[in-house]
Structure 1
Amino acid sequence: MMSARIQRLSPQLVSQIAAGEVVERPASVVKELLENSLDAGATRITVEVEQGGIRLIRIRDNGSGIHPDDLALALTRHATSKITRFDDLQHVSSLGFRGEALPSIASVARLTLTTRVPDQDTAWRVAGDGGDAIGEPLPAPHPVGTTVEVRDLFFNVPARRKFLRGERTEFGHIEDSMRRLALSRFTVGFGLWHNQRMVLDLDPAADGAAQSRRLAELLGRTFAAASVFLDRNETGLHLWGWLGLPAVSRAQPDQQYFFVNGRPVRDRTLAHAVRQAYQDILPQGRHPVLVLHLELEPAALDVNVHPAKHEVRFRESALIHEGVRRMVQATLAEVRPGTAPAPVTQVGLRAWPAGGFGSGFGGEADREQQRVSPQIQERLAVYGQLHASTPAVAATEPAAIVESPPLGYALAQLHGCYVLAENSAGLVVVDMHAAHERILYEQMKTALAQGRVQTQILMVPVTFAVGPRERQLIEEYGALFAQAGLDVAVLGPETGAVRQIPTLLAGLEIAGLVRDMLADLAAHEASNRLERVILDVLASLACHSAVRANRPLNLLEMNALLRDMERTDHGSQCNHGRPTWAQLTLEELDRLFRRGR
């Protein structure tokens, strides 16, 4: 069979091929047009859609508009006001810049554009009907700003229309795109209507209270009430936003919103850094909810790596990864009783952990405790010493307290599991095992950080198979392994060996650990896997060493536990991500007993 002759494609077919890259579905149209509105300096944007955006998309803004002399160019491919030379691509600060959105949309839909600039008395309108020809601009009534109306998407490309989902699904994608952009620009008001019904009406949010209201509107009141604000600077990076506490974690990472220089992105480097920062406080399989803005010099990243601009490429990804991880981790570590939203429980709805957490020390616990430093062992005995030497005494009289500490003062112990305390808000209930477990774990981490990692030389080195890339990584990151207490070397073209390990890891499967570390280094240019394994050992020690259920504590012991919780990093969650305490407010207690009714 003879091959087809080479021929030049028609302009319309070229536009439709380009539209396939930019216009995948109605949400793609909304995203591109919203970005144009934001780049035009709009402070109010309204989006109206019908039938999930397939029948109609109308976007109005109060931005700077398009000059009438530029209207024809605005609908021409590869024409843009946002870049003029190659160097501009190295310093992109706008959301859109390619100049393909409007002509690509016009090639697959019936498009009408009406716009007016501030120094003109008249607005102008142009229209296209899915072909490569655009009508002449005509005068039209319109305030300063732009309205783009897109009707009958893919009416002339039926094959693409068949791939669209149902109306509800397509509108769901539009709503998600709106939410992302609304979380990226708090100073802009947004409105969204679907089939003549208002879905979102967001006023500009300039201050913290207004931003909290927008968070509650977009991500729910629970997240707004159970999140902490982050605002840190480090080595040329500015990171700010909101971090959800473990109470609002999810089974999927579907509510993680990342923005780089105001641009919504999906980035593996940022997601991995956040996952590492949360790993000390979240149960396995859970993912945090968060809104994070990273700001850095435009020259430090490449935004021209994805047709829809969903992704960016950092020029120094390892530096970004470590900086974000460290800043998120430091903010979460400061979440202690009294410094973050209290975990409030609803009376009658929450099921408290039942039964207990074991029955004292012995067996494996004794063997693990022998591996802890003398300083930590001394700290483990604090509550027992108090109990042995001090008779039960009454708590400080509440009337004499001018200002109680965040967790208040102990009243009693309940069923050998919980400490009941009174603070200024009402009743505090503490899971004593979970709380003590976190306290011990953080103390062990501090002790480990303050001293050298104790190591032991293996009499018989542990060998493992390596390929060319693994050999290169071992040689490149030898200092990193040594800093962590590992001596890793290449013995031959296909063999690596571990000759020294941290003492805490004796008996563990070392070859698999090193292979996993090499995989991390290949993917992210960083690895905290060894640190994670050591911390898992410490967490196990803390769990076995913490006070157990059914162990009586007197009031001095209980108050000592409360004060330690208030001073401990991550004091509101145990090592497994469960809450260590909950607050019952006086209002909740009044409702329970129908006081004032």
Structure 2
Amino acid sequence: MNTFDPQIRPVIRQLDDSIANRIAAGEVVERPASAVKELVENALDAGAHRIDVTISQGGKSLIRVADDGCGMTAEDLPLALSRHATSKIDGSDLLAINSFGFRGEALPSLGAVGRLVITSRAESEGAEIRVTGGKAEPVRPAPANPGTVVELRDLFFATPARLKFLRSERAETQAIADVVRRLAMAEPSVAFTLSDDDRVIFRADAEQGDLFDALHARLSRVMGREFIDNAVRIDAERDGVRLTGFAALPTYSRGAAVAQHAYVNTRPVRDKLLTGALRAGYFDVLPAGRHPAAVLFIDCEPHFVDVNVHPAKAEVRFRDPAMVRGLVVSTLRNVLADASRRAADTIGAATLAAFQAEPEQAAPRRYQGDYRPNTPSRAAIQTAYAAQAPAFDGFAEAPSARIEAAETDPVLLDAPLGAARAQVHENYIVAQTSDGMILVDQHAAHERLVYERLKAQADGNGIASQSLLIPEIVELAEDDATRIVSVADDLAKLGLHVEAFGGSAVAVREIPALFGKLDAAALIRDIADDLAEQGSSDRLRARVDAVFSSMACHGSVRSGRRMTADEMNALLREMERTPRSGQCNHGRPTWVKLSLNDIERLFGRKD
């Protein structure tokens, strides 16, 4: 309800600096972790090689950030506490941002809501300035080491209502630790410590070596050795944008998106475009309910990205978002395909634990999840086979036969998946390698092989489509209709033929024959939503691949089928040639490896 009284004219007032700074603090400093983030970023901009963070009571009573950077002079201190004073830009180009914002923007906001003391030394003498509730005292000389110490006490004492919205001391401490760890991952050459009073929560010494060596060591310390041992290196470039980092194997996954970190020009961000691209890069290699683990760095010219679209710089806007998304998705898919013959070390560890421990003590598997596929009816599968000609020529059906001992070519022992030695329980192939043994799930492995062949066949020949007797007209918003028409050629390659139908409508004339029945209007609207939100859509591809997955499941070697030695070796060799053969269509591992050392430890031959 509008309560505006036309008889009373609103009065425009100029807010004083104290009120303006408190309002700014509400945007920049949401909680103690926000203050820590701003102060550590300032220290990094100052060229610090060591940053020590000390907090008390979750940062509510004390936040102290000490660095050995370039420091500030006595003349710099009051200027750093002025509104709109920053070293991030020179005023001529708002997009030419090459730093976090040295000593700018956040300091006056922090001084407005807490008791702030800044002690700094840039030259021979140190200086100190104090700010309480937005009121600054004169600068005075103070003993100081080279660098800067920023001490913030009683955060939000000047705005006590904000204190009610803070979480428990433990939760705020955890949030601060997360911030420090995220910043530490991007700066492996800088030493970090985080202490809660006298207790050290986090410590990372400065790492040596080139970019990837230093990053490898830092991620091992921050993310854990298990992550880095099961990760592949990322390094790609397109149109002046470089993507680097590490991405974990699909068989090393998490139950939530807690191990996903993205950086743009070393700035940590939580961006929907990058999160969606990461998810798309792992498409069809992760089980339902599992999330990838990755640390990705995007480096580009400052003019290519706008970092000022969010008060806390948590989101960014790229000049060409589709290109960035394509770079992330294609790079991840390529490196994961190249690493498809490598299984996560955690699977081997879980296998050892299963041998050694009682069932109730067995270590949980990283790849556990809900693997039940959305299986179409048998009639739909038969229709799909008929439509997607030529049919897959898989392993020929053969009478079940027991494995007879056979001579093995020694060369096969050096192959990645070794030489088949036996089949157990009519479902698992035991293979010997030069340094251990491989256990293969024959149905899961062949399912992936069939699936990849179907996809490759579809990419080469296109998806067969069937014409609708009466075209389906879908009414959309004008912008959505324009987006759908703009990707019509891409949709046609997947069997969905659409065209403009005047105004804001589109006509669907053909649908993929794989689907049988299809709610075309709902699919078109979902695709339009994807295009509006992230500039692209994998929704139709996902539905096509889901049908291929079900077709592969029905057309692969079944559990309970006895295989000859030649058949088993043929399966192993094709797995070695096929991308992503390390996981079945539902994200489960298709094979596990035990090294000879692991086996000898099982039998007590080695410690």
Report if TM-score (shorter chain) is over 0.5. Answer: yes
Residues 72, 121 of structure 2: 8 Å contact kept: yes
Query: Which among 566, 571, 574 is matched to residue 561 of structure 1?
Result: 571
* Cross-structure match for 1:19: 25
Aligned pair in 2 of structure 1 residues 477, 337: CA closer, same or farther (>3 Å)? closer
Q: 2: distance between equivalents of 1:176 and 1:577?
A: 29
After TM superposition, give the deviation of residue 123 of structure 1 in Å. Answer: 2.0
2:353 partner letter: V
Contact 1:539-1:575 at 8 Å conserved across structures: yes
2:490 aligned partner: 480
In the alignment of these two chains, the number of paired residues is 583
Which residues of 2 match residues 88-487 of structure 1 at below 5 A?
A: 89-96=94-101, 99-117=104-122, 120-142=123-145, 144-207=146-209, 208=212, 210-338=214-342, 343-344=347-348, 345-348=351-354, 349=362, 367=382, 370-371=385-386, 376-378=391-393, 380-381=394-395, 384=397, 392-396=404-408, 400-401=410-411, 404-487=414-497
Normalization by structure 2: what TM-score? 0.89
Relative to structure 1, the CA distance from residue 214 to residue 98 in structure 2 (aligned partners, 3 Å threshold; closer, same or farther) is closer
Residues 222 and 395 from structure 1, CA distance in 2 versus in 1: closer, same or farther, beyond 3 angstroms?
farther
* TM-superposed deviation, 1:491: 3.7
Given that 2:402 and 2:563 are in contact with CA atoms closer than 8 Å, whether structure 1 keeps it comes out as: no
Q: Give the 3 Å change call, closer, same or farther, for CA 368–547 of structure 1 in structure 2.
A: farther
Partner SS state of residue 488, structure 1: strand
Distance 1:329 1:48 in 2: 41
SS at match of 1:514: helix
Alpha-carbon distance change, 372 to 464 in structure 1, aligned in 2, over 3 angstroms: closer
Q: CA deviation at 1:314?
A: 1.0
Post-superposition CA distance 1:55-99 (Å, at most 9, x none): 111111111111332122111111122211141x21211122692
Residue 105 of structure 1 and its aligned partner are, at CA, apart by: 0.8
> Does the 8 Å contact 1:357/1:433 carry over to 2?
no
Change (3 A) 1:559 1:482: closer
1:580 corresponding residue in structure 2: 590
- Greater shift, 366-375 or 493-502, is seen at 366-375
The one-character-per-residue Cα deviations of 1:535-580 (angstroms, maximum 9, x if unpaired) are 1121111111110111011222111111111111111111100011
C-alpha contact (below 8 Å) 1:365/1:545 kept by paired residues = no
* Counterpart residue identity of residue 190, structure 1: F
SS in 2 for 1:16: helix
Deviation at 1:478, TM superposition (A): 3.4
Distance 2:252 2:119 in 1: 44
Q: 1:405 to 1:51 in 2, by over 3 A?
A: same
Give the aligned partner of residue 359 of structure 2: none
How far 1:456 sits from its partner (Å)? 2.9
SS at match of 1:254: coil
> Deviation at 1:506?
3.4
> Aligned letter for 2:415?
P
Q: Counterparts of 1:19 and 1:215 in 2: how far apart (Å)?
A: 32
Partner amino acid, structure 1, of 2:116 = L
Q: Higher mean Cα deviation, 505-514 or 420-429? A: 505-514
* 1:298–1:507 CA distance, 2 compared to 1 (3 A): same
Query: Does the Cα contact within 8 Å between 1:239 and 1:294 map onto a contact in 2?
Result: yes
1:10 match: 16
Change (3 A) 1:472 1:396: same
Hey, what's the Cα distance between the residues in 1 that align with 2:164 and 2:501? Answer: 58
Question: Compared with structure 1, are the counterparts of its residues 407 and 81 closer, same or farther at alpha carbon in structure 2 (3 Å cutoff)?
Answer: same
TM-fit CA distance, 1:482: 3.5
Deviation at 1:172, TM superposition (A): 0.9
CA positional deviation for 1:210: 4.8
Matching residue of 1:63: 69
Q: Offset of 1:23 from its aligned partner? A: 1.6
d(CA) in 1 for partners of 2:114, 2:58: 15
C-alpha separation in 1, matches of 2:419 and 2:83? 70
Moved more, 502-511 or 435-444: 502-511
In the TM superposition, what is the alpha-carbon distance from 1:389 to its structure 2 partner? 11
Which residue does 1:36 correspond to in 2? 42
Amino acid at match of 2:477: G
1:38 is displaced (CA, Å) by: 0.8
Change (3 A) 1:9 1:430: same
Query: Structure 1 CA distance, aligned partners of 2:539 and 2:229?
Result: 33
| C-alpha distance 553-309 of structure 1, shift in aligned 2 (>3 A) | same
Distance change >3 Å, CA 131–CA 481, structure 1 → 2: closer
Question: Is 1:73 the counterpart of 2:69 in the alignment?
Answer: no
Following superposition, the deviation at residue 339 of structure 1 comes to 8.5
- Specify the SS of the correspondent of 1:504: coil
Distance 1:424 1:141, change over 3 A: same
Gaps of 5+ in 2: 355-361
- Preserved CA contact (<8 Å) 1:410 1:421: yes
Give me the whole-angstrom Cα distance separating, in 2, the residues matched to 1:267 and 1:474.
24
Deviations 1:166-215 (A, max 9, x none): 11011111011111101111221111111211111112234445533432
Change beyond 3 A, Cα 1:395–1:256: farther
CA separation in 1, counterparts of 2:598 and 2:226?
A: 17
Check 1:168–1:389 CA distance in 2 against 1; reply closer, same or farther (3 A cut). Answer: closer
Aligned CA distance change for structure 1 residues 556 and 304 (closer, same or farther; 3 Å): same
Letter in 2 for 1:321: R
Secondary structure, counterpart of 2:136 in structure 1? coil
Residues 304-347 of structure 1 show CA distances to partners (whole Å, capped at 9, x for unaligned) of 11111111111121222222211111111212225875841333
State the alpha-carbon separation in 2 of the partners of residues 495 and 4 from structure 1.
46
Partners of 1:50 and 1:357 in 2: CA distance: 48
Map Cα deviations across residues 406-434 of structure 1 (whole Å, 9 max, x no partner): 22111111101111112233221111111
Q: Give the conservation status (yes or no) of the 8 Å contact 2:71–2:148.
A: yes
Structure 1 gaps, min length 5: none
d(CA) in 2 for partners of 1:534 and 1:543?
Answer: 14
Identity %: 41
Q: Distance in 2 between matches of 1:428 and 1:161?
A: 57
Shift of 1:444: 1.5
Which amino acid counterpart does residue 347 of structure 1 have in structure 2? A
What CA distance in whole angstroms lies between the structure 1 residues aligned with 2:50 and 2:86? 23
Structure 1 letter corresponding to 2:481: R
* Structure 1 pair 342–27 and aligned structure 2 pair: CA distance change class (3 A): closer
State the AA in 1 paired with 2:106: A
Distance 2:175 2:36 in 1: 10
CA contact (8 A) 1:365 1:544 kept: no
2-side partners of 1:554 and 1:357: how far apart?
29
* Equivalent of 2:534 in 505, 508, 524: 524
Measured in 2, the distance between the counterparts of 1:164 and 1:365 equals 54
Deviation string 1:238-286 (CA, Å, 9 cap, x unpaired) is 1111112233322322321110111111111111112112111012232
